[in-house]
Each structure stands twice: as C-alpha cells, then as structure tokens.
Structure 1
Amino acid sequence: MPVHNKLVRDRIPEIIEATGKKYSTRLLSDKEYIDELKKKSFEELQEYVETDNKEDAIEELADVLEIMHALAEYHGSSIEEVEEVRRSKAAKRGGFKEKIYLIEVEDE
C-alpha cells in the first residue's frame, strides 16, 4: 500500500472508500495541523508554478485559495478579513499590476 503521510481534503477518505480501497487516516493535533497546512501551502504553490496553461493555473490557484481559507480560520480569522487587510495594503503600497521590478536603491 503506498504511503502518503500528508494533509488531504476532508472528503478524500469518502472518495477512496467509494472505490472499495482500504486506507488509514488519523486526526492531527493543532500543532501538526498548522505545520501540515504550511507544508501544503508550499506544495500547492509549487504545483501552480509548474503549470503551463490557464486551466491548470486556475485549478492550482483554487487549491492555494482553499489553503488560505483554512489558514485564516486556524488563526481565528476569515478570508474576508484577509481580503480587507490585502485591500488596505494595496491602497497604501500598491499591488503588483504594474509589473515594477526594483533593481537597486541607493544606501544612505
């Protein structure tokens, strides 16, 4: 039986069970959960980086967003609060739409 040892979406055991395959799971402690969410965020972002078409990119960005929802909830917040902070930072410092690449800044 292949060993995965990773955080999976909530319905994955149900989906596996529907195939008739045997599997094992366990519930994570809070510390393990946040550690695994952080690992999963890198995994999903790497999958996005490796895409080469719009459809795959959107699929992977949806996975990244799902992780962001879980992380916000873990920290006692919501994606709406995260979005509010994002908007505030964009108003103060801008976003990334203008494609500005900083080369250097003079030292004092």
Structure 2
Amino acid sequence: MPTYNKLIRDRILEIIEAGGSSYNARTLAPEEHLTEIKKKLYEEVKEFDETTNETDALEEMADVLELLHAALKVYGKSFDELEAVRVEKKEKRGGFDQGLYLIDVEDK
C-alpha cells in the first residue's frame, strides 16, 4: 500500500472508493491545513516550472489557483479581497507584464 501523507483534492477519496480501493485519511485542523496548502503550492509551482507545453502549464496554473482559493478560505478572505490587494500592488509598483529583468543597480 503506497503512503502519500499529503493534501489531496476533495473528491479523491470518492475516486479511490469507486476504484475499489480502501484508504486511511483524516481532516486537517485549520493550522495544519494552511501548512499543507503551502507545501502543495511549492509542489505545484515546481510542476509548473517543469511543464513543456501550454496545456500542461494551464493545468498546473489551475492547481496553483485552486490552492490559493483554499488558503483564502482558511484565512476567511475572499478572492475579491485578494484581487484588490493585487490591483493595489500593481498600481503602486506595476505588474510583471513587460518581462523586465534587472541586472544590477549602481549605488550613488
């Protein structure tokens, strides 16, 4: 029996049962949940980094977005609140749309 010890999507247990397998699982406390969301985010960002085509890249970005939604729920915040923070930061400091890459800065 493989051991996973990781956060899974909400319907995975149903899928395991439908396949005729059994499992051991538990529901995480909010603090544990947030810790596991952060771990899973690293995993999904790494998978995004390793993609070689647009389809796979979109799949991994969707996973990252799903994890952000889950983290927002743990914090009791909405996606609209996150989006407002994103927009405010973009207005103050800009986004990442232009692909600018800073080499160095000469001190005065």
Residue 22 (structure 2) pairs with residue 22 (structure 1): yes
After TM superposition, the structure 1 = structure 2 runs for residues 1-108 of structure 1, keeping only pairs within 5 Å, are 1-108=1-108
The RMSD of aligned alpha carbons is 1.0
Runs of 4+ in 1 over 2 A off after TM superposition: none
Q: Measure, in 1, the Cα distance between the counterparts of 2:80 and 2:50.
A: 28
Q: Measure, in 1, the Cα distance between the counterparts of 2:46 and 2:19.
A: 29
Q: Measure, in 2, the Cα distance between the counterparts of 1:75 and 1:34.
A: 9
Q: Measure, in 1, the Cα distance between the counterparts of 2:29 and 2:88.
A: 33
Deviation at 1:106, TM superposition (A): 2.5
Q: Measure, in 2, the Cα distance between the counterparts of 1:49 and 1:79.
A: 24
Higher relative contact order (CA 8 A, sep 6+): 2
Q: Measure, in 2, the Cα distance between the counterparts of 1:29 and 1:87.
A: 31
Aligned residues: 108
SS of the residue aligned with 1:51?
coil
Deviation at 1:16, TM superposition (A): 0.6
SS of the residue aligned with 1:106?
coil
Q: TM-score scaled to structure 1, two decimals?
A: 0.95
| Percent identity of paired positions between Structure 1 and Structure 2 | 54
Amino acid across the alignment from 1:70: A
Q: Measure, in 1, the Cα distance between the counterparts of 2:9 and 2:97.
A: 32
Q: TM-score scaled to structure 2, two decimals?
A: 0.95
Deviation at 1:63, TM superposition (A): 0.2
Deviation at 1:91, TM superposition (A): 1.2
Q: Measure, in 2, the Cα distance between the counterparts of 1:77 and 1:107.
A: 40
SS of the residue aligned with 1:91?
helix
